[in-house]
Amino acid sequence: MVGRRKFLRDSFSVAGALLLTKKSPFPAQAESAAADSRIEVLLGEPLGTISANIYGHFAEHLGGVIYDGIWVGENSKIPNTNGIRKELVEEMRKIKAPVVRYPGGCFADSYDWRDGLGPANKRPRRTNFWADAESSSAPASHKYEPNQFGTNEFARFCRLIGCQPYLAANIRSLGAEQFYQWIEYCNSPPGSTTLADERTAAGFAEPFGVRFWGVGNESWGCGGNFTAQEYAVEFRRYTEWVPRFGQELSFIASGPNVDDWDWTRGFLEELVRKGKRRLRTVYGMALHHYAWNLSRGRTNDWDQGKGDALKFDSVDWYELLREGQRMEGLIDGHWQVMSEIDREHEVKLIVDEWGPWYKPGSEMVPNDLLQQTPTLRDAVFSGMTLDIFNRHPEKVAMANCAQLINNLNCLYLSHENNFCVTPVGHVFGMYAAHQGGQGLRTIFSAPGIPYDRDGKPATFWGLAGAASLHDKELVLTVVNPHVSKASEPEIAIRGASVKSGSVTTLTHSDIHAHNTFEQRDAVKPETSNLTGTGKVIRHAFPPASVTKLDLMLE
């Protein structure tokens, strides 16, 4: 037990100890800006199409994500569709959830997909990857995987939502044959193979059509502790022959932990040792970054460095955003390293785990593993992160917030028949408007926010965001991170004029505000009509807010 915990902790500590060497250009812009705030949207400078998949999700067999979150069981009194929590599906449809990654995470590399098939009462119980980290009061289903929710149930969940499945395969403890047979189970046409017959017998004649396949997870750590070179060899082997059944397959390689540039370089260098064409076998490299170190520079210890989800001061607020802002430098930095080997950029970045990670203590369901209660701070963090992805549409092909429900930066919290949308969930609802739009270069100039960081002067940027165009509709999202001051920039639309519009704002007078099962709507977005029109408009962005402007142009 201690060994496994230490193993995980060691992986993370290494990540935390590495320093970000490539600086994001964004804060520098803000620091050097004039006192007046200004946002300029450049219609003539498209950045690329914003993939809907950057608004993706992640659901792992971990704590209350599956059992008590997604899966309530077919005989439950909780409203459900074939055992799947109905309210969750309804909410995910509202936010146009495009893709869900499953079944892990670290769990993926200990999971045998065959365990989740067959009559529910005959499925085996197995020790969950996370069992040793669970508390003694945790439900049995969190420690000993009952396999009531498997591939079929996950595929149904995705169908109900109308999203794409993204399956992460076990390469640490299952062979390549199991990998391609899972693909065969999911994608082979009815009647074609024994596995297709098995799927049909389970009530799923139509193939699941799974396009996205993760070849392992965090293969530098819990997914096998490989070196980048060893992993590249495995990646080549696992993807060398896989049946397609007419389905496009996109393989996602386990990518770097935070700023492990050597992993990115080492993997690609080894991959192309067998020829540059190998690059075409990789759809994307999975980058993971959690904002966990709120120690204000005091420690890199994974346990000591974490902050509290609910109890924080304004310095902690900026500290979390500062950690999150690293994402922009990580995207730029890994992209640059990738270009050393992959000059044409065949391989994209898939940020399939991101979000804040706090110490235990804020769980709505006491002791639920890695559950935390997202506040307005996490909503601002999430808006900021999604805008970073929006600003790099040519690089980021997919992103998956960790995790969907009852875990880390969750969009939803649930327990038995209780359910609520967190402030993070509301941000995803607002930002869905960016999906599939044409990203536009947008310049934000606002005075930096000066604050005292434990006796040392510090500055955080004043305004940030992203814009996308959808025919004549411009979507502009803006984060004002200032804990107490509104910002009222001029917003200039270069190349068009605003005819009408609406404003949706998520904020609260208390930066700690969050939703609970009793107060489900303590933090929720409000929409009103835009007041100004023309080439230049003004809008006051409240302190600690995430705002979306929907602007009709002429």
371 or 390, CB closer to ligand AHR? 371
Q: How far is the CB of 126 from ligand AHR (least distance, A)?
A: 16
Which residues in 448-507 contact ligand AHR (CB under 6 A)? none
| Candidate list 60, 87, 145, 353, residue with the active-site label | 353
53 or 400, CB closer to ligand AHR? 400
Site for ligand AHR contains 325 (CB under 6 A): no
Q: Are 276 and 340 in contact (CB under 8 A)?
A: no
204 or 357, CB closer to ligand AHR? 357
320 or 463, CB closer to ligand AHR? 320
For ligand AHR, which residue of 63, 69, 105, 329 counts as binding (CB under 6 A)? 105
Who contacts 4 (Cβ-Cβ below 8 Å, separation ≥6)?
132, 133
Site for ligand AHR contains 104 (CB under 6 A): yes
Give the other-Cβ count within 10 Å of 311's Cβ: 11
174 or 433, CB closer to ligand AHR? 174
Distance CA(277)–CA(342), nearest Å, equals 10
| Candidate list 60, 87, 91, 218, residue with the active-site label | 218
- CA atoms 418, 421, 422, 424: torsion sign: positive
108 or 430, CB closer to ligand AHR? 108
Please name which of 170, 133, 173 lies closest in space to residue 151, comparing C-alpha atoms.
Answer: 170
Site for ligand AHR contains 435 (CB under 6 A): no
134 or 218, CB closer to ligand AHR? 218
Q: What token pair was written down for 169?
A: 């395969």
Which residues in 5-24 contact ligand AHR (CB under 6 A)? none
Q: What is the DSSP letter of 24?
A: P
For ligand AHR, which residue of 68, 134, 184, 218 counts as binding (CB under 6 A)? 218
Site for ligand AHR contains 60 (CB under 6 A): yes
Ramachandran sector of residue 415 (left: φ over 0; alpha: ψ -120 to 50; beta: rest): beta
Give the other-Cβ count within 10 Å of 82's Cβ: 13
Site for ligand AHR contains 402 (CB under 6 A): yes
Q: How far is the CB of 535 from ligand AHR (least distance, A)?
A: 45
Give buried/exposed letters for 269-305 (b at 16+ CB in 10 A, else e): ebbeeeeeebbebbbbbbbbbbbbbbebeeebebeeb
For ligand AHR, which residue of 153, 234, 260, 353 counts as binding (CB under 6 A)? 353
Site for ligand AHR contains 404 (CB under 6 A): no
Q: Which stretch binds ligand AHR (CB under 6 A): 101-109, 231-239, 299-307, 371-379?
A: 101-109
Ramachandran sector of residue 43 (left: φ over 0; alpha: ψ -120 to 50; beta: rest): alpha
Q: What is the DSSP letter of 285?
A: E
Q: How far is the CB of 23 from ligand AHR (least distance, A)?
A: 25
Q: Are 306 and 292 in contact (CB under 8 A)?
A: yes
Q: What token pair was written down for 395?
A: 């690089």
Site for ligand AHR contains 217 (CB under 6 A): yes
Q: How far is the CB of 406 from ligand AHR (least distance, A)?
A: 12
Distance CA(288)–CA(97), nearest Å, equals 20
Site for ligand AHR contains 106 (CB under 6 A): yes
Distance CA(225)–CA(352), nearest Å, equals 19
Q: How far is the CB of 131 from ligand AHR (least distance, A)?
A: 13
Distance CA(385)–CA(6), nearest Å, equals 30
Q: Which stretch binds ligand AHR (CB under 6 A): 104-112, 148-156, 319-327, 426-434?
A: 104-112
Q: Are 503 and 540 in contact (CB under 8 A)?
A: no
Please name which of 515, 457, 448 lies closest in space to residue 487, comparing C-alpha atoms.
Answer: 448
116 or 481, CB closer to ligand AHR? 116
* 183 CB-contact burial (10 Å; exposed 0-12 / middle 13-18 / buried 19+): buried
Residue type, position 1, single letter: M
Who contacts 424 (Cβ-Cβ below 8 Å, separation ≥6)?
374, 378, 379, 382, 401, 409, 410, 411
Going by their DSSP bridges, the two strands 456-460 and 536-538 should be labelled as: unpaired
Residues 107/112/113/119 CA torsion (nearest 10 deg): -110
Q: Which stretch binds ligand AHR (CB under 6 A): 103-111, 143-151, 485-493, 542-550?
A: 103-111
228 or 467, CB closer to ligand AHR? 228
145 or 353, CB closer to ligand AHR? 353
Which residues in 405-424 contact ligand AHR (CB under 6 A)? 408
Q: How far is the CB of 403 from ligand AHR (least distance, A)?
A: 6
Q: How far is the CB of 264 from ligand AHR (least distance, A)?
A: 17
Q: How many residues bind ligand AHR (CB under 6 A)?
A: 10
Site for ligand AHR contains 393 (CB under 6 A): no
Site for ligand AHR contains 109 (CB under 6 A): no
Please name which of 43, 496, 6 lies closest in space to residue 221, comparing C-alpha atoms.
Answer: 6
Q: How far is the CB of 5 from ligand AHR (least distance, A)?
A: 13
Site for ligand AHR contains 440 (CB under 6 A): no
Q: What token pair was written down for 11?
A: 């992986």
Q: How far is the CB of 123 from ligand AHR (least distance, A)?
A: 22
Q: How far is the CB of 412 from ligand AHR (least distance, A)?
A: 16
Residues 192/193/197/199 CA torsion (nearest 10 deg): -100
**353 catalytic, yes or no?**
yes
Q: What token pair was written down for 192?
A: 């074609």
Measured from each CB, the residue nearest to ligand AHR is: 105
Which residues are designated catalytic?
A: 218, 353
Where do contacts with ligand AHR occur on this chain (CB under 6 A)? 60, 104-106, 217-218, 353, 402-403, 408
